[in-house]
Structure 1
Amino acid sequence: MFAKLIVVLLVIIVGSFLWYFMKSKVSAAHQQVRDRAIDGNFGRAITAGPATKHLTMMGRTLTLGADPTRAGELISHIATSDDRVTDIHPEQGAIVIQIDGSYPRVRAQLMPDRTVIGVEAMTWEMGFPQGAAVWDRIATAISQAATHQGIPVGEGAREFAKDEHASGKPEVWTVRVP
């Protein structure tokens, strides 16, 4: 009985070591294949369509025709209700919203006659801008709530460019200044 228990334990220990090393080899091989696909034309071809859609979603801006206090309260209320929003803080004449810890970063410029809200910076990883679905969900909720409250809402678009001054990985993209 004791000998069978030791054999079972040895099989489990040896199997665990084999599993660990095999899993790391498969993960490393998978990582290399993924990197080659993204760096090669095949990866670009596959991600081009969805990336363009996500980039369009990230460029969506809203203009709320309300006083800054009312618009700021509405935006803060909607943003805090989303689980992926990690920080909301006021700045001079603005509200800054961070999604997933740091990016995308959304800024609501609070002006006396209107408020313009949109993404000002984002990260680009794995062939896509990150956080597009979250921003689209928040923007849609803000637009619907504002319309429900009788606040005029206008939509616009922004373009982005890779920020060459930001170092490291992932890539940071910011609003293109004309």
Structure 2
Amino acid sequence: MLAKLVLVLLIIIVGSFIWFFVKGKVSNAHAQVRDRAVEGNFGRAIAAGPATKHLSMMGRTLTLGTDPTRAGELIVHIATSDDRVTDVTSEEGAIVIQIDGSYPLARAQLMADRTVVGIDAMTWEMGFPQGAAVWDRIATAISQAATHQGIPVGEGSREFVKDEGTSGRPEVWTVRMT
């Protein structure tokens, strides 16, 4: 009985040493492949397609052809119903929507004949603009609700540039001013 117990403990100890070295070899090989991919821009090439898609989602703007009061009520109602929207505030002639605490930051410009809503600033982390799916979901809901209410809806797009005035991580990107 004691011999069998010693044999099992010996197998466990030897197995642990073997596992440690095999795992280290696999981890080192994985790290080398990852480093080669980044050096060869392979990783950037793989991320480029999805990042471009997310960036175009973030650039999506809506123009609602109605008075500012009606458009503002619609936008506030849709935005506050989304769980990822953390704050909706009114400013002079605008409604500001914060997603996930600070960014992305959407702004609805309330004008006399129309309202334009889109992302003003966003963060770029892990190779992607953050919050694109949330913004796309909110913009789609606004568009559908406006269409359902008979409000004309037009779509447009914005371009973004890295804001060099901010430092640190995450990177902040803002609308390109032309």
Normalised by the shorter chain, which TM-score bucket? 0.7 to 0.9
In structure 1, the residue matched to 2:116 is: 116
What is the identity, as a one-letter code, of the residue corresponding to 2:98? Q
C-alpha distance after superposition, 1:32-59 (max 9, x if no partner): 9878866761221110000000000000
Q: Distance in 1 between matches of 2:83 and 2:32?
A: 33
Q: Distance in 2 between matches of 1:40 and 1:155?
A: 38
CA shift, 1:31, in A, is: 9.4
Q: 1:31 to 1:161 in 2, by over 3 A?
A: farther
Q: Distance in 2 between matches of 1:90 and 1:49?
A: 36
Q: TM-score, normalised by structure 1?
A: 0.79
CA shift, 1:95, in A, is: 0.2
Runs of 5+ in structure 1 lacking a partner? 1-29
Q: Distance in 2 between matches of 1:93 and 1:85?
A: 20
In structure 1, the residue matched to 2:177 is: 177
CA shift, 1:168, in A, is: 1.0
Q: Distance in 2 between matches of 1:85 and 1:38?
A: 34
In structure 2, the residue matched to 1:49 is: 49
Q: Which runs of 4+ in 1 moved over 6 A?
A: 30-36
Q: Distance in 1 between matches of 2:33 and 2:158?
A: 34
Q: 1:122 to 1:148 in 2, by over 3 A?
A: same
In structure 2, the residue matched to 1:6 is: none
What is the identity, as a one-letter code, of the residue corresponding to 1:68? P
C-alpha distance after superposition, 1:101-149 (max 9, x if no partner): 1000000000010000000000000000000000000000000000000
Q: 1:33 to 1:91 in 2, by over 3 A?
A: farther
Structure of higher CA gyration radius:
2
What is the identity, as a one-letter code, of the residue corresponding to 2:115? T
Percent identity over the alignment?
84
Q: Does 1:70 align with 2:70?
A: yes
In structure 1, the residue matched to 2:127 is: 127
Q: 1:43 to 1:142 in 2, by over 3 A?
A: same
Q: 1:171 to 1:37 in 2, by over 3 A?
A: farther
What is the identity, as a one-letter code, of the residue corresponding to 1:86? T
Q: TM-score, normalised by structure 2?
A: 0.79
In structure 1, the residue matched to 2:160 is: 160
